[in-house]
Amino acid sequence: MGELKTTNNKIKVDLMRSKPELSIYFRIFVLVSVLIICFGLYFNIFYSGVYIIGDSMLPTLHGASGPEHKDDDYDEAGDYIYVNKYEKPTYGDIVVVTRRDEKEVNGETVVEKTTIVKRVIAMGGDYVRISDGVVSIKYKGKTDFVPLSENYISEDRNTIKNKFPVIDGMYDENGYRVEDNCLFLLGDNRDNSLDSRENGGRSFPVGDVFGVATSWSLNNKKFFKFMHYTFGFGYSFG
């Protein structure tokens, strides 16, 4: 009887020892799960993925020829980046913006919306002029134009020699004034980009900016392109 009692006591002691260990592992599991869920919620609230389509941002961003990357070979698929939906855009930022164009359809005026990716060149109150491919800015409150140093543009993609702005066929040396609370946007591929240069100048409202490209996704765009192409995670528009 003494041996049986001793054995039972040993079993109870072993069970008591295992309970705290199980409790610690369970707490760690719960804590990690909560952290992952909170991070996921935070990330989805503040960031969104963008699949690049078109060549207007070459050589900075490579775009696919169509909206479905699965139709392309990997080398032809577009880059994939993330934008911060709450960051305020500033000079030099790459932004995703909603382009609004009025069109006549069956006698009625409708607004066609297109999502585009461009770079912020100037902001509200600035003046912009372009001559021989060189962009110059007269910043708000300043008196002189300052040429931009744009190391993100390859020379073979900036061959356009036309001047901007041109009004009634004449080049205006005073430049184009960017409307208040708006942005002047250009594609890095100046030879193939429909942007703020059209129709003698176009300002894009800051309120139409969907998000600002994050530096960490731009610096690791090859990784995110691979992950998006291979596993299909994230959202696709651009």
Question: What are the tens digits of pLDDT across the range 67-109?
Answer: 555 555 777 788 999 999 999 999 999 999 999 988 878 878 8
| Residues forming a β-bridge with 95 | 118, 212
pLDDT for position 191? 86
What's the predicted TM-score (pTM) here? Answer: 0.81
Residue 10 forms part of a structural domain: no
pLDDT-derived band at 208 (thresholds 50, 70, 90) equals very high
In Å, the largest CA–CA distance within the chain is 112
Distance CA 108, CA 193 (A): 28
Q: What is the C-alpha to C-alpha distance for residues 54 and 97, in angstroms, rounded to an integer? A: 15
Helix (H, G, I), strand (E, B) or coil at 133: coil
In a domain, 14, yes or no: no
Full domain range(s) for residue 203: 47-231
Lowest mean pLDDT among 64-68, 178-182, 184-188: 64-68
- pLDDT computed for residue 238 by the predictor: 40
Which residues make Cβ contacts (< 8 Å) with residue 173, sequence separation at least 6? 129
- Name beta bridge partners: 65: none
Q: Is residue 7 part of a domain?
A: no
Taking all residues of the chain, what is their mean pLDDT, rounded to a whole number? 83
| pLDDT tens readout for residues 20-78 | 556 888 888 888 888 988 887 877 889 999 989 888 999 999 988 765 555 557 777 88
pLDDT band per the 50, 70, 90 thresholds, residue 125? very high
Enumerate helices (H) and strands (E) in the chain, giving the number of each.
3, 13
Q: Which residues contact 108 (CB under 8 A, 6 or more apart)?
A: none
Give the pLDDT mean for 200-212.
94
Residue 106 lies in a domain: yes
- Residue 33 lies inside a defined structural domain of this protein: no
What pLDDT is stored for residue 22 in this prediction?
61
Torsion sign across C-alpha atoms 195, 198, 204, 210: negative
Q: What is the 3-state secondary structure (H, E, C) of 52-96?
A: CECCCCCCCCCCECCCCHHHCCHHHCCCEEEEECCCCCCCCCEEE
Q: Tell whether 104 is covered by a domain.
A: yes
DSSP label at 34? H
Q: Residue 108's domain is classified under what CATH number?
A: 2.10.109.10
Q: Please state, in angstroms and as integers, the Cα–Cα distance from residue 153 to each residue in 52, 57, 90, 91, following that order.
A: 18, 9, 18, 15
The number of domains in the chain is 1
Instruction: Report residue 233 as tokens.
Output: 């995670």
| Domain membership flag for residue 88 | yes
User: Per the domain annotation, does 34 fall within a domain?
Assistant: no
CA dihedral 122, 128, 129, 130 (to 10 degrees): 10
Give the pLDDT of residue 158: 63
CB neighbour class for 234 (10 Å; exposed up to 12, middle 13-18, buried from 19): middle
